[in-house]
Amino acid sequence: MSNHRQRFAFGASVHAMKLPLEGGCRCDAVRIRVTEAPLITFACHCNGCQRMSSSAFSLTALCLASGFTVTKGEPVIGGLHGEDVQHYFCGHCMTWMFTRPAPLPHIVNVRPTMFDDHAWFAPFAETFTKTKLPWAQTGAVHSFEEFPPMDAFEDLVKAYAAQQKP
Ligand SMILES: [Zn+2]
Ligand SMILES: [Zn+2]
C-alpha cells in the first residue's frame, strides 16, 4: 500500500491512492489495471482534449507502460487515428480510456476517472491554459500556456514525486 496524498493549491487534500488501480469504461466491457504509481498527473485545456472529453479539460495519470494492462476486452483506436498518438476507446460504449504517445512507448496516459476509486486524483500540473475556459479551475499547482518543454517536464516529475512523500 502506498501513501499518496496531494494538497491542492486551495488547501484541501485528497485521500491516499492504493495500488493496484483497477478501472473500466462506462459499460465495463473493457477493464484496465495499473500496478505502478503514476509519474505525474495533469489536466489539459487544449481544444482537442475539450472535444474528446466533452468538457472543459481532460484529466491524465501519466503511467508507466510496464505497470499497465488491459485485463478485459479489446480497446479500439479512436480520436485522431494518428501515428504520433493513439487514443484508445471502448468499442461498445465509446469511452475514451487511455492514450499511448508513440514517441514515448514506455508511457500510457490513463484517464483517471476510469479507475473504480479515483477520489485520490488531483492534477499536479495543467497544460494549454491559453485555451482554458475562463471559469475552469483545476487546483493544479503548476500551469503552462502550452505543453511544458521536455526539461521542465523532468523537473515536474521530480516535484510530483517529492510531494507524494508522506
Ligand atoms: Zn465500454
Ligand atoms: Zn490536451
- Give the domain CATH number at 65: 3.90.1590.10
Question: How many A from CA of 143 to the centre of ligand 1?
Answer: 32
Question: How many A from CA of 29 to the centre of ligand 1?
Answer: 5
For residues 39 and 160, the answer to whether their CB atoms sit within 8 Å is yes
Please check whether residue 10 lies inside any domain of the structure: no
The domain in which residue 118 lies consists of 30-142
pTM reported for the whole predicted model = 0.90
Please check whether residue 50 lies inside any domain of the structure: yes
Please check whether residue 133 lies inside any domain of the structure: yes
What type of residue is 79? G
Please check whether residue 19 lies inside any domain of the structure: no
Please check whether residue 102 lies inside any domain of the structure: yes
For residues 10 and 28, the answer to whether their CB atoms sit within 8 Å is no
Question: How many A from CA of 147 to the centre of ligand 2?
Answer: 9
Question: How many A from CA of 166 to the centre of ligand 1?
Answer: 36
Number of domains in the chain: 1
For residues 40 and 64, the answer to whether their CB atoms sit within 8 Å is no
Taking only the tens of pLDDT, the chain with its 166 residues reads 344 445 554 445 567 899 999 999 999 999 999 999 999 999 999 999 999 999 999 999 999 999 999 999 999 999 999 889 999 999 999 999 999 999 999 999 999 999 999 999 999 999 999 999 999 999 999 999 999 988 888 899 999 999 887 6
